[in-house]
């Protein structure tokens, strides 16, 4: 690995910064399901301190018979919620041909775990300047993850934020194994900011809060958390979503832990 | 898994058949490097009994600084070698936008290990009738592999040949762990033909022959083998390539084992 | 790894040999349950060509509430069945203090998968001359397995037969992932004979036969197979046992494959 | 799993408590090497707030040619250092026949990762009342770990403290993958206290401090940390040891994080 700069180079997303002194929390639904659901969630997470909105439009699902996301029908919902809340937005891109549609709509592209090795996609995202959140492949070596980041950088886009979201191991009591070692390792051995996704990494609502705090303590620069107004009826991954109340409680505990780590929580936009 | 038909449905590739009574061997270079290299390899493997040619044009490489394949410069080479040898051809597709270029050039699309979860690609390959060789993701569950095959079937293309190529585990003495259990399991629990790639599954020339025989004994319907006229100078993966001589020796041993399994080797085209 | 002798040094067990020209099959019940069950199984497997008997007396079970084996109550059963059939016997030792009881009763000690790293046990088994079948730990690296064999050799017992029995990976469709690469690798990189246990490696009766043939083709020197007269009522692991009929059928198919590999099946004792 | 009591039952070790309101830190050398090294380390870690001493006497090493520990020669060193510092002591037991020697010398038995499945050892440790720190096997499922704890409880010893020390996965950038999910899971699904070993879980001095903080945030009840006065000359695992200075700095940061979690650090003995 050639990337060994011990000093993280922050990546800006509008007025936000990942990898700088403050700690940024992204939150929102796994999938955008309706204007009401998206808007309600965005209002709630903003109130509790989230500074960016997440929400899936094109979903990669193992089983072809399950909900595949609203697709382009979600575009107008996103525009309306962004306008109302002022929150920047991140969403997963699954095909290079979606790039032009996403420009202007997303403030950060998400490359999902299944696409960490999709070099065709990475090469094209290297040609835009919109930041990219690059999730670690669920079986990606740390060295491969950094090489995938280099694909983006080499093709012209240095605005890469890494995201650890759990890896596949023999353990099945949790959905994935949350590799927090990888966060501490990447902070020491690369210049990329790195955030953590405790929702996918645990796959269980009850584990999200302790593991979010653990990720912060391990040195993550931020979090991305799934929140749903009513997880029991979510169209995808409700078993790992926080309710708005649980999210608020998490943010309160997180702020205390961050203070003990001498790190402020990024302030909500005004 | 809904797919539990115990009787394999053969898939035809021109006059060839995968999953029928006879056992088909695909061979050729990891990457096409030149007309001479491709032609020489094709002649050699045909002479020893291979009934289909493989050869990478667009390569997915972890490190962005390594050889990425000849790309479309290989098209004319492939046309010339196919015309001369009469061998059908399989090659990896890495982007849905390559489909139109590949139609007519390849007789079977290869979806590589890194793209087993690339549902955007699978959905579009579901809309053609050219057969697809679907490699198992290096960390793909068998159930996920069968779901990926269903993406192809559901979108209209039932001509799917599975290929086991080794999985990622804790063991590092070999490049991958060759999961031959998966071959026996898939034969008993799905109707898809399944072949094996002992070159990637072992990552070592010396292990290819015994593991090719083992795959046949486990019930595979065929093999895909990397052969290079001079592995020491190969531009990719020379460490796992067979020389034409080693390939000939493998084919001789394979024919004897297949006979003991009451299975003929598919005959070279006339 | 210092052990790189490419020529396997055979290990003798009475008049039998592991790692020589012929291929030896061990068979018997997972656990010895009664004189009748053990005797009936021994007669059946001998008739079909097994040349050694297996049978658990002290069982290592994950759950403390499950059957832990007959323990020393099985000793007299073993003596009677050995006397009647003339088959040599292998059984798992789980505690160094059992060694004196086992001497004379077993013709080969089995060190089970959970004890590959139990160096206290290995050091003491190094001080006897009775051969040891050393199963690979279900998460043991090949290099660690060879180091464990060296513990035996270094302490004075060179009579080590390795046994691949499957490793723990992310795949859950089969009980373990059968690492047949490891067999080919060990044959090329150590002088120890190596046999395969397709019963544990697959954990499913229907997969045992194809994977037994695959192990032979990969270069194994023998097999160890679980057989039970009535798997449905077995006290342990019935889901992976063969009936005597299935075992006979396996032996017939195996003999044909071995012939194609120029390897005779070790003859039943007279 | 039958053990689902959500309320951790604390385990007492002398005047110390694991799993109660306060957080306990164990520290000391990987191996005891000499009176001077052990005494110097004990003084240093006590001064910085450790409340218990660790130190290996019988070492389980993969390679039979490496340092295997001082064995019983370390007993008098341990007695002297305990008398001087008043620190309780934990050390790994590798053979049931060591129990009588260890009684009175250790205040807690350590069952190491390689012995989590050594039920012969667990059954006998179930017959004493000295607490047992049960490390998770490096490939042990959480359910198997809890079953191993049940072996101790069922045989009469309820004083079990679990210890997560990293699992074996495909990732090789770190020595192990630290499964902090397991800590949060076990706290919610069993009544056993659980501590964390960031030294083995990372295998790198530079990663120990962030991951120790992360373990505390995930909900661990304590830590066990390797400290050596001069890691460069350590006879085992120096690459993961902290110097006394680094340990002091860790303890200062830990105390702040624990405060944010409303948890006091267990006080040094008076």
Residue C269 clears pLDDT 80, i.e. is over it? no
What is the ipTM, given to two decimal places? 0.95
Question: How far is D146 from chain C, CA to nearest CA, in Å?
Answer: 9
Query: Which subunits have 3 or more CB–CB pairs within 8 Å of chain A?
Result: B, C, D
pLDDT digits (tens, 9 = 90+) for B202-254: 999 999 999 999 999 999 999 999 999 999 999 999 999 999 999 999 999 99
How far is the C-alpha of C173 from the C-alpha of B162, rounded, in Å? Answer: 17
Instruction: Tell me the CA end-to-end span of chain A in Å, nearest whole number.
Output: 40
Amino acid A6: pLDDT: 59
Amino acid B219: pLDDT: 97
From chain B, pick out residues whose CB is under 8 angstroms from the CB of A151: 64
Assess D66–C contact: CB distance below 8 Å, yes or no. Answer: no
**pTM of structure:** 0.95
Whether residues A185 and D179 touch (CB distance < 8 A) is answered with no
Query: Which subunits have 3 or more CB–CB pairs within 8 Å of chain D?
Result: A, B, C
Residue B27 clears pLDDT 50, i.e. is over it? yes
What number does CATH give the domain A11-60+67-260?
A: 3.20.20.70
Whether residues D96 and C94 touch (CB distance < 8 A) is answered with no
From chain B, pick out residues whose CB is under 8 angstroms from the CB of C142: 171, 173
From chain C, pick out residues whose CB is under 8 angstroms from the CB of D151: 64
Whether residues D168 and B170 touch (CB distance < 8 A) is answered with yes
Q: Which H/E stretch holds residue C135?
A: strand C132-135
- Average pLDDT of chain C to the nearest whole number: 94
Contacts with A31 (C-beta within 8 Å, 6 or more apart), sequence order: A55, A56, A57, A59, A67, A69, A70, A234, A235, A236, A237
From chain D, pick out residues whose CB is under 8 angstroms from the CB of A169: 167, 169-170, 177, 179
Question: Domain D11-56+68-260's class?
Answer: alpha beta
From chain B, pick out residues whose CB is under 8 angstroms from the CB of D170: 139, 168-170
Question: How far is D58 from chain C, CA to nearest CA, in Å?
Answer: 10
Q: How many C-beta atoms surround the C-beta of residue D71 within 10 A?
A: 12
Q: Kindly give the confidence (pLDDT) of every residue in chain A, 270 residues in length, as a single tens digit, with 9 standing for 90 and above.
A: 333 345 899 999 998 999 999 999 999 999 999 999 999 999 999 999 999 999 999 988 888 888 889 999 999 999 999 999 999 999 999 999 999 999 999 999 999 999 999 999 999 999 999 999 999 999 999 999 999 999 999 999 999 999 999 999 999 999 999 999 999 999 999 999 999 999 999 999 999 999 999 999 999 999 999 999 999 999 999 999 999 999 999 999 999 999 999 999 998 655
pLDDT digits (tens, 9 = 90+) for C39-82: 999 999 999 999 999 999 998 888 888 888 999 999 999 999 99
How far is the C-alpha of B11 from the C-alpha of B86, rounded, in Å? Answer: 19
Locate D98 and state its tokens: 């060591």
At the second CATH level, the architecture of C34-57+67-260 is Alpha-Beta Barrel (3.20)
How far is CA C101 from its chain centroid? 20
How far is the C-alpha of D114 from the C-alpha of C117, rounded, in Å? Answer: 6
Whether residues A181 and D167 touch (CB distance < 8 A) is answered with no
How far is the C-alpha of D223 from the C-alpha of D221, rounded, in Å? Answer: 7
pLDDT digits (tens, 9 = 90+) for C101-157: 999 999 999 999 999 999 999 999 999 999 999 999 999 999 999 999 999 999 999
Amino acid D4: pLDDT: 36
Count chain C–chain D contacts defined by CB atoms under 8 A: 52
Locate C159 and state its tokens: 């009579």
Q: Which H/E stretch holds residue D73?
A: none
Write out the DSSP string of B92-118.
E--SGGGHHHHBTTBSEEEE-GGGTT-
Q: Give the mean pLDDT of C148-168.
A: 97
Amino acid D139: pLDDT: 96
**Inter-CA distances, D116 with A81, C147, D148, D182, D236, Å:** 52, 20, 7, 16, 21
Whether residues B61 and A119 touch (CB distance < 8 A) is answered with yes
Write out the DSSP string of D97-160.
GGHHHHBTTBSEEEE-GGGTT-HHHHHHHTTS-S-EEEEPPTT--HHHHHHHHHHHHHTT---E
The partner residue sitting opposite B217, judged by closest CB among C141, C183, C257, is C257
- The alpha-carbon radius of gyration of chain C (Å, integer) is 17
Residue B188 clears pLDDT 60, i.e. is over it? yes
Half-sphere exposure of B174 (CA within 13 A, CB side): 32
Amino acid A208: pLDDT: 98
From chain A, pick out residues whose CB is under 8 angstroms from the CB of B66: none
The partner residue sitting opposite B64, judged by closest CB among A62, A64, A154, is A154
How far is the C-alpha of A69 from the C-alpha of D223, rounded, in Å? Answer: 44
Query: Which subunits have 3 or more CB–CB pairs within 8 Å of chain C?
Result: A, B, D
The partner residue sitting opposite C117, judged by closest CB among D64, D114, D147, is D114
- Give C265's pLDDT tier (boundaries 50, 70, 90): very high
Amino acid C1: pLDDT: 34
Whether residues C188 and B206 touch (CB distance < 8 A) is answered with yes
Task: Give rounded-to-5 percent helix, strand, coil for chain A.
Answer: 40, 20, 40
Q: Is residue D90 a contact partner of residue D223, using CB atoms and an 8 Å limit?
A: no
Which of D60, D63, D64 to substitute to test the interface with C, most C CBs within 10 Å? D64
- Give C4's pLDDT tier (boundaries 50, 70, 90): very low
Whether residues B64 and A114 touch (CB distance < 8 A) is answered with no
Q: Taking every pair of C-alpha atoms in chain B, what is the biggest distance, in angstroms?
A: 47
Query: Of chain A residues 79-98, which have a CB less than 8 A from chain B?
Result: 94-97
Closest CA relative to residue C229, chosen from C212, C246, C204: C246
* Candidates 3.20.20.70, 3.40.50.300, 3.40.190.10, 1.10.3720.10; CATH matching B22-58+71-259: 3.20.20.70
Assess B169–D contact: CB distance below 8 Å, yes or no. Answer: yes
Instruction: Tell me the CA end-to-end span of chain D in Å, nearest whole number.
Output: 40
Whether residues A144 and B117 touch (CB distance < 8 A) is answered with no
**Cα angle D134-D136-D142, degrees, rounded to a multiple of 5:** 115
Beta bridge partners of B92: B110
Residue of chain B whose alpha carbon sits nearest to that of D175 = B170
Contacts with A245 (C-beta within 8 Å, 6 or more apart), sequence order: none
Residue B6 clears pLDDT 70, i.e. is over it? no
Query: Of chain B residues 105-164, which have a CB less than 8 A from chain C?
Result: 139, 141-143
Residue C214 clears pLDDT 60, i.e. is over it? yes
The backbone torsions φ and ψ at residue A169, rounded to the nearest 5 degrees and listed phi first, read -135, -170
Residue of chain C whose alpha carbon sits nearest to that of B198 = C181
Amino acid A268: pLDDT: 64
Closest CA relative to residue B167, chosen from B203, B194, B132: B203
**In A49-98, alpha helices (H):** 75-85
Q: Is residue B31 a contact partner of residue B59, using CB atoms and an 8 Å limit?
A: yes
Assess D66–B contact: CB distance below 8 Å, yes or no. Answer: no
The partner residue sitting opposite B170, judged by closest CB among C139, C174, C187, is C139
Locate D102 and state its tokens: 């260890």
Assess D62–B contact: CB distance below 8 Å, yes or no. Answer: no
Q: Is residue D151 a contact partner of residue D181, using CB atoms and an 8 Å limit?
A: no
All residue ranges of chain D with pLDDT < 70 are 1-6, 268-270
Write out the DSSP string of A199-263.
HHHH--HHHHHHHHHHHHHHT-SEEEEEB-S-GGG-SS-GGGPBPHHHHHHHHHHHHHHHHHTT-
- Give C37's pLDDT tier (boundaries 50, 70, 90): very high
Assess A172–C contact: CB distance below 8 Å, yes or no. Answer: yes
- Average pLDDT of chain D to the nearest whole number: 94
**Inter-CA distances, B204 with A128, B184, B226, Å:** 40, 23, 11
């Amino acid at each position: 690995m050639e990337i060994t700069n011990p000093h993280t180079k922050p990546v800006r997303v509008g007025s936000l910064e990942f990898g700088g002194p403050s700690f940024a929390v992204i939150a929102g639904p796994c999938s955008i399901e309706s204007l009401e659901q998206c808007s309600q969630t965005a209002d709630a997470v903003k109130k509790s301190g989230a500074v960016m909105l997440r929400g899936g439009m094109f979903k990669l699902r193992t089983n072809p018979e399950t909900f595949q996301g609203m697709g382009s029908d979600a575009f107008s919902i996103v525009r309306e919620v962004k306008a109302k809340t002022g929150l920047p937005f991140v969403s997963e891109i699954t095909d290079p041909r979606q790039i032009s549609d996403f420009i202007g709509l997303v403030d950060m592209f998400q490359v999902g775990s299944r696409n960490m090795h999709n070099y065709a996609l990475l090469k094209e995202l290297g040609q835009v300047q919109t930041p990219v959140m690059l999730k670690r492949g669920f079986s990606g070596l740390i060295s491969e993850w950094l090489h995938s980041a280099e694909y983006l950088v080499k093709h012209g886009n240095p605005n890469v934020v890494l995201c650890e979201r759990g890896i596949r191991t023999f353990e099945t009591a949790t959905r994935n194994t949350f590799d927090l070692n990888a966060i501490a390792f990447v902070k020491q051995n690369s210049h990329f900011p790195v955030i953590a996704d405790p929702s996918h990494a645990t796959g269980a609502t009850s584990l999200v809060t302790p593991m979010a705090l653990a990720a912060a303590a391990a040195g993550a620069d931020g979090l991305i958390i799934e929140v749903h107004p009513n997880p029991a009826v979510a169209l995808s991954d409700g078993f790992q979503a926080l309710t708005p109340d649980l999210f608020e409680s998490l943010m309160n505990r997180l702020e205390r832990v961050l203070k003990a780590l001498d790190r402020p929580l990024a302030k909500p936009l005004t």
